[in-house]
Amino acid sequence: MTGKAKPKKHTAKEIAAKVDAATTNRGGGKAGLKDRTGEEKGGHAKYECPHCKITAPDMKTMQIHHEARHPKLPFEEDKFVNLHAVHGADSSKTRPGVRGSFKK
pTM for this entry: 0.47
What is the C-alpha separation between 81 and 20, in angstroms, rounded?
32
Asked whether residue 33 is assigned to any structural domain, the reply reads yes
Number of domains within the chain: 1
Report yes or no on 61 lying in a domain: yes
Q: Where are the alpha helices (DSSP H) in the chain?
A: 12-23, 29-37, 59-69, 83-87
Are 40 and 34 a contacting pair, CB within 8 Å?
A: yes
pLDDT the model gives residue 37: 62
Task: Decide if 81 is inside a domain.
Answer: yes
What integer best gives the mean pLDDT of the chain?
A: 75
Q: Is residue 11 part of a domain?
A: no
70-92 pLDDT per residue, tens: 999 999 988 888 877 776 655 45
> CB-based contacts of 40: which residues, under 8 Å, 6+ apart?
34, 87
- Mark the ranges of the chain whose per-residue pLDDT is less than 70: 1-7, 25, 27, 31, 35-44, 87-104
Pick the closest to residue 45 from 31, 54, 55, 53 (CA basis).
Answer: 55
Q: Is residue 91 part of a domain?
A: no
What pLDDT does residue 75 have?
Answer: 93
